[in-house]
Amino acid sequence: MPADLVRISGLGVDYGDRRAVDGVHLRIPPGEVFGLLGPNGAGKTTMFRVMATLLPPTRGEVELCGENIQSKPREVRSTIAYMPDLAPMPSDLRAVEYLRFYAESYGLRGKERDARVTECLESVGLRERSKDICTKLSLGMRQRLALAKAILHRPRLLILDEPASGLDPMARADLKNALRRQADAGATVILSSHIMAEIQDLCTSIGLLQRGRLLDAGPIRKVLAKFGQAETRVIVRSPGRRD
Ligand code: ATP
Q: What is the pLDDT of residues 208-228, one digit of tens each?
A: 999 999 999 999 999 988 877
Question: Quick one: residue 87, left, alpha or beta (phi over 0 = left, psi -120 to 50 = alpha)?
Answer: beta
pLDDT of residue 202: 82
DSSP readout, 12-62? EEEETTEEEEEEEEEEE-TT-EEEEE--TTSSHHHHHHHHTTSS--SEEEE
The number of the ligand 1 atom at minimal distance from the alpha carbon of 18 is 30
- Kindly provide the ipTM of the predicted complex, given to two decimals: 0.97
pLDDT of residue 231: 62
Residue 239 has pLDDT above 80, yes or no: no
For ligand 1, residues with CB inside 6 Å are: 15, 18, 20, 38, 40-46, 194
Strand partners, 28: 6
Grade residue 184 by pLDDT with cuts at 50, 70 and 90. confident
Residue 54 has pLDDT above 80, yes or no: yes
Strand partners, 15: 18
pLDDT of residue 104: 96
Give CA–CA dist 126/146, Å, rounded: 11
Ligand 1 center to 236 CA (angstroms) = 15
Residue 209 near residue 47 (C-beta atoms within 8 A): yes
pLDDT of residue 199: 84
Residue 80 has pLDDT above 50, yes or no: yes
Ligand 1 center to 31 CA (angstroms) = 28
Question: At 142, is the secondary structure helix, strand, or coil?
Answer: helix
Return the biggest CA–CA distance within the chain: 53
pLDDT of residue 169: 87
The number of the ligand 1 atom at minimal distance from the alpha carbon of 209 is 6
